[in-house]
Amino acid sequence: MSKIQSKTVYILDEFNALAGEAFIPETEVTSTHVVVPPPPFSRTHYVAVWSFESNKWEVSLSTRGRDLLWEEVINQRNKLLASTDWAVLPDVDLSAEVKENVLKYRQQLRDITDDFSDPRTVEFPKFPL
């Protein structure tokens, strides 16, 4: 008994956005199927639209992907804030200048979600000590 070879078919919606994928027997692939390479992304984080003009996928971050990346940024920001809590305690012996730099650093961390519109471009400030 021979094994039936199958191909992954990427299903496009009416806007050429990836709507899903399926496996069909190779013998059922006909000239009416448009053969495109697999999309270069995770479907959880990105949306892909096939461009027949450029003959490639146009990939953008999905809403879910953006939310997940912002969640990662916020978690990292919160860890950095927690790691500097000691520096703002009243009994810590730091010069006024150093304490002011730490406070500015902590404010920059808090402002990250306002200062950046894309979580992929976030650059965390450097700790001043």
Which sequence spans correspond to the domains of the chain? 6-61, 63-121
Token pair, residue 76, equals: 């990292």
Whether 48 and 56 have beta carbons less than 8 Å apart is answered as no
Q: What is the pLDDT of residue 62?
A: 79
Instruction: Identify whether the C-beta of residue 28 lies closer than 8 Å to the C-beta of residue 60.
Output: no
| pLDDT tens-digit series, residues 54-99 | 877 777 777 888 898 999 999 999 999 999 999 999 999 999 999 9
Rounded CA Rg of the chain: 25
What is the pLDDT averaged over residues 101-121? Answer: 95
Whether 35 shows a pLDDT value over 60: the answer reads no
Kindly give, in sequence order, each residue whose CB lies less than 8 Å from that of residue 128, ignoring residues fewer than 6 positions away: 98, 101, 102, 104, 105
Measured in residues, the chain has a length of 129
pLDDT band of residue 1 (cuts 50, 70, 90) is very low
